[in-house]
Structure 1
């Protein structure tokens, strides 16, 4: 006779005749969506005090809510940062026109297409978003999109504003393409 740990010894047995009520699932999903919607109407979720209100709940994200961003803020720095936009590398990597332009030239060279000169703010802005994502997460991939913190989006938009004040915002990846 063998004694000791027995895996799954006290686990409930699954019944095949058990059905989940679709109304219960729908109610849980609705409640989760409502809990997220409150983010669009206030900035209580912002810990860095630099985030602005965003048009969708998913975009209402503070730099303190993303693990890789928090690690970047604390990596090798003596002073604790309140916001990732205060990081000494942020200005150089994500906002400096020379760095952004060089990254654009490299990307266009790889794709073998011509870079329009003068480069419009929209192009600089989109590349700055990508620069931030590479800087923090080290990589992107096909159909991999990451939400950028509202504080970062606001700072990049301040540096490279839209000509007409319209911005696209975060879009989920199209997995069918």
Structure 2
């Protein structure tokens, strides 16, 4: 099952790691998809959102068959794109563990 990526570390290059970097490092990515390696990225409104799934180490085992992008996986759509599922997961997390810590990884 898909889990939220708490610390996305670049899979192909360590200088693309967003874990504790500022938004400015990725500002050049806003408005384009030139950084996309999978062919499925879309233009995002912030640089930190402009990360290709192929740049994230722990997505490889989650991409199956002839899929080349994490968003092609049925589980991704069910778990990550369904607002009700995300809200429910956050309620359960806060109930069981407590409030999300204030950090860049949780944005």
TM-score, normalized by length of structure 2? 0.51
Equivalent position of 1:59 in the other structure: 49
Aligned-residue offset at 1:90: 1.2
Instruction: Trace 1:6-21 onto structure 2 (pairs within 5 A).
Output: none
Q: 1:110 to 1:41 in 2, by over 3 A?
A: closer
Alignment of 1:1-177 (within 5 A): 36-73=26-63, 77=64, 79-96=65-82, 99-100=85-86, 102-107=88-93, 109-110=95-96, 143=103, 145=105, 170=107
- Note the C-alpha offset of 1:85: 1.1
The residue number in structure 1 matching 2:15 is none
Alpha-carbon separation, structure 1, partners of 2:91 and 2:78:
17
Describe the shift of the 1:54–1:103 C-alpha distance in structure 2 as closer, same or farther (beyond 3 A): closer
Q: CA RMSD in A?
A: 3.8
Structure 1 alignment gaps of length 5 or more = 1-33, 113-139, 147-169, 171-177
Higher helix share: 1
Distance 1:82 1:110 in 2: 35
CA contact (8 A) 2:26 2:50 kept: no
Aligned pair count? 84
Deviation at 1:54, TM superposition (A): 2.4
CA–CA distance in 1 between the matches of 2:42 and 2:90?
A: 28
Higher RCO (CA < 8 A, seq sep 6+): 2
8 Å contact kept, 2:80–2:86: yes
